[in-house]
């Protein structure tokens, strides 16, 4: 029996186990929306902007490990998804995005609400399709989910012309999937793994650098086993936070531009780096020529293009992190462990000394709220058991520094693209994925205004997400750069007019709370966490506070700036504003 | 260093733009590109000439391999291979030099594929050196127009991967 393209689409989504779709309707997708009206199994969450829909699907994917799904209309609906798709692409997040398209006979005619979205998204998707024949639809959906979720995951877009959703075909679901030109390699090369094991066994100052690949492949147990068995300390990149327990004694926290003193020192002094599911982003490496100058480098990654892209590598291992670590651990088990402990004792003692020398810290105050203090309190009150999303900027870095992530999929942030406006819609998606968890967006007053309209989505869907705004009345990270590198010329970073966030929350039907003094922080957080509604918390924080340590862009990562290098008279001046 | 990269790709719309977009998006230059279908109508063959140091060429071949529609990538530098390109060259020689055009075309095993009162169009195939030499010899004849295909390359038998 022949059924319509829209019916084929919904049937295919159910076959893929989809329950939630984030989206926004429009003329050319009405055939699909009309079917969704009566569908009991597919829940469409209406966001207030298509960018919000994609970030929500992305947050859903990151929190659940499933593929996130979004559905939007053609033209502006589709182009509004580009930032979200690029965000997911940079962070390797599996998404399938359906965009509506004008009828096939009008494509290329500059029809109303037409955009060449397949062309526009080609560089920021893992793959994309324009469905020209309704008979191909089921197969394409199956293929899209396969591509999005296998190998190095990523977003896939399917463009659906209106006549394809209206046209009819038999529903034929391909049970197996084989794409001749797409065969990700999962097993690591045995010889390379043996060579890597040999290097690990004889290293005296080794460091593991764990990236987002550890979280994506679910390799946190294998990574912990490797670290504990060998006694190698682990630093987690921004995307890798939660891939190794942040509170573990072998944890070095984050490396790079705003990484810890001890992570950066350890990397620079190391004789072996084991890079696991990470891609040597410039925010991690700083000046590449002087990155880890004494170290041999073992690089494990499923994507061969990540290897030797930025950094020379001695032992490349292409494969899925979880499988490769399992293979590696097996080889290492036969080595003489007691010997390692003795060798690494000195190294670990050195790291302990660095940790004591310069721990992550800030100057506490009882007069003005320090943003780091808010993050610390959130960590204490949630006992590290919340899902934290962030916006981008200082709020993101303080959250990464002062919240310890012990488990994967607790930390959702736009790492690669650095997308302001990501955190709040992502929190909405995450809350849909893990309804029982406390989901908190740590935000800045600038970023939150980029997708603040999604308050409506949270309220309508009864999603008890919390937003903690670290409100410093500035685009803080840019201001920090202006202060340090542009002679304090604060060009357009002061947000002189910010809305009253409490009133904004209330206007949308959410709860708004404000803290202006350090003593109010804990009561506000407690009240928010015990409210089963969306809550916006406006923390009026010290606007002079900066993120430290800081490696200036393009400098070697052990060239770190610290707060005590600020001139005291400057500090005083700023405080009087 | 210059590399000739041979690609087998799915014969679908949009594949060429995925391949060329990879080069432009990453700031690599394509010196020449030629595409044609193979004996299997579902598969096309592309030959791309590009330039870069070892690290860039390694990235290019890996990135090409990563594209979903790319079936096989071969860097011809690693293989004994034959390269050819073709030009069509329209010259308008002075009457007393007309015969020279004929002679040179013959010497280079070219063909006159079109002629008019004032012009000849010569077809020449060969490797880059031969093509360049022929163009240089034709310059004094008065080149009116010149079109050049990209390179095509094939591995010599016995060394095929």
Instruction: Please write the tens of the pLDDT for every residue from A321-351.
Output: 999 999 999 999 987 677 777 778 899 999 9
Which one, of A93, A73, A75, A74, lies nearest residue A85 by Cα? A93
| Residue of chain A nearest B25, judged by CA positions | A123
Interface probe for A, chosen from B21, B40, B43, B68 (most Cβ of A below 10 Å), is B68
| Banded pLDDT at A575 (limits 50, 70, 90) | very low
pLDDT at A574 over 90: no
Q: Which residues of A are less than 8 Å from B17 in CB distance?
A: 119, 122
Q: Are A167 and A138 in contact (CB under 8 A)?
A: no
Q: Are A269 and A205 in contact (CB under 8 A)?
A: yes
Q: Which residues of A are less than 8 Å from B55 in CB distance?
A: 308
**Alpha-carbon gap: A185 to the closest alpha carbon of chain B (Å):** 11
Q: Classify B139 as helix, strand or coil.
A: helix
State residue A343's pLDDT score: 76
- Polymer length of chain B: 161
Which of A126, A179, A305 is nearest residue B63 as measured by Cβ atoms? A305
pLDDT at B79 over 80: yes
Asked if A179 lies within 8 A of B65 by C-beta distance, the reply is no
Which of A123, A181, A308 is nearest residue B68 as measured by Cβ atoms? A181
Q: Which two tokens stand for residue A488?
A: 């304090």
Other C-beta atoms lying within 10 Å of the C-beta of residue B25? 12
Average pLDDT, chain A: 95
Q: Are A443 and A376 in contact (CB under 8 A)?
A: no
Would you call A376 a catalytic residue per the annotation? no
Give the C-alpha separation, B104 to B120, whole Å.
12
Give the C-alpha separation, A54 to A96, whole Å.
10
Q: Which residues of B are less than 8 Å from A147 in CB distance?
A: 68
Which of A122, A127, A309 is nearest residue B21 as measured by Cβ atoms? A122
State residue A339's pLDDT score: 72
Which of B18, B59, B68 is nearest residue A309 as measured by Cβ atoms? B59
Q: Are A205 and A177 in contact (CB under 8 A)?
A: no
Asked if A308 lies within 8 A of B68 by C-beta distance, the reply is no
**Alpha-carbon gap: A182 to the closest alpha carbon of chain B (Å):** 6
Interface probe for A, chosen from B7, B10, B14 (most Cβ of A below 10 Å), is B14
Give the C-alpha separation, B26 to B100, whole Å.
46
Percent of chain A with pLDDT over 70: 98
**Contacts for A254 with CB less than 8 Å, ≥ 6 apart:** A235, A236, A237, A238, A241, A260, A263, A400, A401
Would you call A40 a catalytic residue per the annotation? no
Instruction: Read off the DSSP letter of residue A406.
Output: -
Instruction: Please write the tens of the pLDDT for every residue from A399-452.
Output: 999 999 999 999 999 999 999 999 999 999 999 999 999 999 999 999 999 999
Asked if B62 lies within 8 A of A304 by C-beta distance, the reply is yes
pLDDT at A211 over 90: yes
Q: What is the ipTM of this complex?
A: 0.89
Give Cα A421 to chain centroid, integer Å: 13
Residue A471, CA distances (Å) to A255, A391, A421, A428, A523 in order? 26, 12, 15, 21, 17
Would you call A503 a catalytic residue per the annotation? no
**Alpha-carbon gap: A74 to the closest alpha carbon of chain B (Å):** 19
Residue A467, CA distances (Å) to A140, A423, A511, A512 in order? 38, 9, 10, 10
Would you call A162 a catalytic residue per the annotation? yes
Secondary structure (DSSP) of A153-180: --EEEEEEEHHHHHSEEE----SS---T
Q: Of these residues, A66, A126, A162, A377, which one is catalytic?
A: A162
The label of the residue with tokens 């308008």 reads B92
Asked if A181 lies within 8 A of B21 by C-beta distance, the reply is no
Instruction: Please write the tens of the pLDDT for every residue from A377-403.
Output: 999 999 999 999 999 999 999 999 999
Which of B14, B55, B68 is nearest residue A179 as measured by Cβ atoms? B68
Cα torsion angle, A415, A416, A419, A420, sign? positive
CA atoms within 13 A on the CB side of A83: 19
Give the C-alpha separation, A123 to B46, whole Å.
20
Asked if A181 lies within 8 A of B55 by C-beta distance, the reply is no
Give the C-alpha separation, A464 to A437, whole Å.
10
Instruction: Please write the tens of the pLDDT for every residue from A552-570.
Output: 999 999 999 998 777 665 6
State residue A340's pLDDT score: 77
Q: Which two tokens stand for residue A145?
A: 């989910």
State residue A565's pLDDT score: 75
Give the C-alpha separation, A145 to A571, whole Å.
53
Q: Which residues of B are less than 8 Å from A126 in CB distance?
A: 68
Burial, A355: exposed, middle or buried (Cβ in 10 Å; 0-12, 13-18, 19+)?
A: buried
Q: Of these residues, A16, A50, A391, A483, which one is catalytic?
A: A50
| Residue of chain A nearest B20, judged by CA positions | A123
Q: Which residues of A are less than 8 Å from B65 in CB distance?
A: 304
pLDDT at B161 over 80: no
């Amino acid at each position: 029996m022949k059924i319509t393209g829209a019916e084929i689409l919904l049937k295919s989504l159910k076959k893929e186990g989809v329950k939630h779709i984030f989206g926004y309707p429009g003329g050319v997708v009405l055939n699909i929306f009309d079917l969704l009206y009566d569908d009991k199994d597919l829940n469409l969450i209406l966001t207030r902007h298509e960018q919000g829909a994609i970030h929500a699907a992305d947050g859903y994917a990151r929190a659940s490990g499933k593929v996130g799904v979004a559905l939007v209309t053609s033209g502006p609906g589709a182009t509004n998804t580009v930032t979200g798709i690029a965000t997911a692409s940079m962070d390797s997040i599996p998404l399938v995005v359906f965009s509506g398209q004008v009828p096939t006979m009008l494509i290329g005619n500059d029809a109303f609400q037409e955009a060449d979205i397949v062309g526009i998204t080609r560089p920021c998707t893992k793959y994309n399709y324009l469905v020209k024949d309704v008979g191909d639809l089921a197969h394409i959906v199956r293929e899209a989910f396969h591509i999005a979720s296998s190998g190095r995951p990523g977003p896939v877009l399917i463009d659906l012309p209106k006549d394809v959703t209206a046209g009819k075909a038999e529903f034929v679901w391909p049970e197996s999937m084989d794409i001749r030109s797409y065969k990700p390699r999962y097993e690591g090369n045995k010889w390379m793994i043996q060579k890597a094991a040999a290097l690990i066994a004889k290293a005296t100052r080794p460091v593991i650098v764990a990236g987002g690949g550890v979280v994506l492949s679910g390799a946190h147990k294998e990574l912990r086993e490797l670290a504990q068995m060998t006694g190698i300390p682990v630093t987690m990149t921004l995307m890798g936070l939660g891939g190794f327990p942040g509170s573990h004694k072998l944890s070095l926290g984050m490396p790079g531009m705003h990484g810890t003193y001890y992570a950066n020192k350890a990397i620079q002094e190391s004789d072996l780096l084991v890079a696991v599911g990470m891609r040597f982003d410039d925010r991690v490496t700083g000046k590449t020529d002087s990155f880890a100058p004494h170290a041999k480098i073992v690089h494990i990654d499923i994507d061969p293009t990540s290897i030797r892209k930025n950094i020379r590598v001695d032992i490349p291992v292409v494969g899925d992190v979880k499988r490769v670590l399992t293979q590696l651990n097996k080889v290492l088990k036969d080595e003489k462990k007691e010997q390692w402990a003795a060798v690494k004792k000195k190294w670990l003692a050195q790291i302990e000394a660095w940790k004591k020398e310069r721990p992550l810290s800030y100057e506490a105050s009882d007069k003005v709220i320090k943003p780091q203090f808010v993050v610390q309190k959130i960590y204490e009150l949630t006992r590290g058991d919340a899902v934290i999303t962030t916006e981008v900027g200082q709020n993101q870095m303080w959250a990464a520094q002062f919240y310890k992530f012990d488990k994967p999929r607790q930390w959702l942030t736009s790492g690669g693209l650095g997308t302001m406006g990501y955190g709040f819609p992502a929190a909405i998606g995450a809350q849909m994925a893990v309804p029982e968890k406390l989901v908190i967006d740590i935000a800045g007053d600038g970023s939150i205004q980029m997708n603040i309209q999604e308050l409506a989505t949270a309220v309508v869907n009864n999603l008890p997400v919390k937003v903690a705004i670290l409100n410093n009345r500035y685009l803080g990270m840019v201001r920090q750069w202006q202060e340090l590198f542009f002679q304090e010329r604060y060009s357009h970073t002061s947000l002189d007019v910010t809305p009253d966030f409490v009133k904004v929350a209330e206007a949308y039907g959410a709860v708004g709370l404000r803290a202006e003094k350090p003593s109010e922080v804990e009561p506000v957080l407690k009240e928010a966490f015990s409210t089963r509604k969306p809550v916006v918390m406006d923390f009026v924080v010290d606007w002079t506070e900066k993120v430290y340590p800081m490696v200036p862009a393009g400098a070697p990562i052990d060239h770190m700036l610290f707060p005590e290098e600020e001139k005291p008279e400057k500090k005083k001046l700023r405080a009087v504003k | 260093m210059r590399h000739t990269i041979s690609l087998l790709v799915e014969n679908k719309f949009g594949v060429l733009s995925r391949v060329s977009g990879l080069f432009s998006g990453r700031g690599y230059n394509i010196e020449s590109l030629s595409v044609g279908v193979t004996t299997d109508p579902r598969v096309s063959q592309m030959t791309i000439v590009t330039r870069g140091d070892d690290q860039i060429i390694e990235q290019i071949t890996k990135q090409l391999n990563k594209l979903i529609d790319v079936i096989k990538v071969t860097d011809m530098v690693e293989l004994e291979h034959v390269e050819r390109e073709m030009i069509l060259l329209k010259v308008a020689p002075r009457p007393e030099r007309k015969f020279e055009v004929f002679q040179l075309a013959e010497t280079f095993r070219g063909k006159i594929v079109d002629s008019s009162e004032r012009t000849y169009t010569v077809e020449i195939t060969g490797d880059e050196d031969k093509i360049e030499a022929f163009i240089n010899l034709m310059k004094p004849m008065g080149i009116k127009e010149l079109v050049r295909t990209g390179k095509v390359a094939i591995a010599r038998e016995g060394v095929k991967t």
